[in-house]
Amino acid sequence: MLNTYTNTSQAVAVNGTLTFNNTAISACQFVRHTAGSASTALTGTGYYLVIFNADAAITDSTAGNVTAQLQVDGAVYPGAEATFYSTAATDIGNLSFATLVKVQPNCCAISDNIPKTLTVVNTGLAATYTNAALTIYRVRAQL
């Protein structure tokens, strides 16, 4: 299990990644995160429950969607997205999603299954995120 968070505000540009500055719990050898980085690595086969939560608002005066999207190895992970329509920098909303990520073993034909690198990307308007948290559980080791 991993629980990492940033309890201060961070301005994130369009298509920028959120960083997680603190690691509260790191109790699984197959989930790796360095405090202060944007990426988390899943290094063992199995199913992982990924939970994201944050408060956010736009950083400028243009109203629009603030969207947090999970990416796995740089590609959008379908269904792991949260959107909030923000009308002003003081219009703060909560973004959250939960999803399962499957990590298959490497083999002679496919050698890039492990590790899987996870990032949370701001795919909407530039936004200020506060209290961002990422929790990952390895829920099943075997496929």
How many other β-carbons are positioned within 10 Å of the β-carbon of residue 90? 8
How many angstroms separate the CA atoms of 131 and 48, rounded? 22
Partner residues linked to 135 by β-bridges: 3, 51
Q: What is the pLDDT of residue 110?
A: 78
The structure tokens listed for 57 are: 């608002």
Q: What is the pLDDT of residue 47?
A: 96
How many angstroms separate the CA atoms of 78 and 115, rounded? 19
Partner residues linked to 97 by β-bridges: 52
Q: What is the pLDDT of residue 140?
A: 86
Mean pLDDT for each consecutive 10-residue tract of the chain (143 residues)?
A: 95 98 91 95 96 95 94 97 93 96 87 91 96 96 73
Q: What is the pLDDT of residue 143?
A: 65
Q: What is the pLDDT of residue 111?
A: 78
How many other β-carbons are positioned within 10 Å of the β-carbon of residue 139? 11
Q: What is the pLDDT of residue 50?
A: 98
Q: What is the pLDDT of residue 107?
A: 83
Q: What is the pLDDT of residue 99?
A: 98
Torsion sign, CA atoms 66, 33, 133, 71: positive
